[in-house]
Amino acid sequence: MQKTQTIMIVDDDEDDRELFCEAITEIAGHFKCVDAENGELALIYLNDEKRPLPDYIFLDLNMPRLNGKQCLAEIKKMEHLKSIPVIIYSTSNHQQDREITLQLGATGFLHKPTEFNKLCMELKRWID
């Protein structure tokens, strides 16, 4: 039996968060999905010692309060968080966003697929 792992999705779009968590359940039942609606709330969650740290973080770029680039920079500054793989999960397809987030320490960049099956296929590549 596989150990339960946790994936965090940080996205201000509730529908995108729900679809993401459905896809995780579909492809990898041993993953628990937790979410936050912006970077500020994600950092509060990640700094709560009572909560287990996620094994992966999928991070949207365009969010209110603390955007994805700012959140990523904060995650990579913190000793207890910097080793967690952070995959940017965005509708942006700009090369500059890819380059900047990779320089900030992102593990990769996933352009949000528009179809559920494509989302499942893409997520398998990152968590397998």
Percent of the chain with pLDDT over 70: 98
Domain count, the chain: 1
- Mean pLDDT estimate for the chain: 93
Predicted TM-score (pTM) of the model is 0.94
Determine the Cα angle at 88 with ends 128 and 41, to 5°: 110
8 A C-beta contact, residue 7 and residue 32: yes
- 15-70 tens-digit pLDDT: 999 999 999 999 988 889 999 999 999 999 999 999 999 999 999 999 998 999 99
Domain membership of residue 63 as a residue range: 5-127
Residue with the two structure tokens 């990779």: 102
Token digits for 86? 């952070």
- The CATH number of the domain holding residue 47 is 3.40.50.2300
Q: What is the pLDDT of residue 4?
A: 79
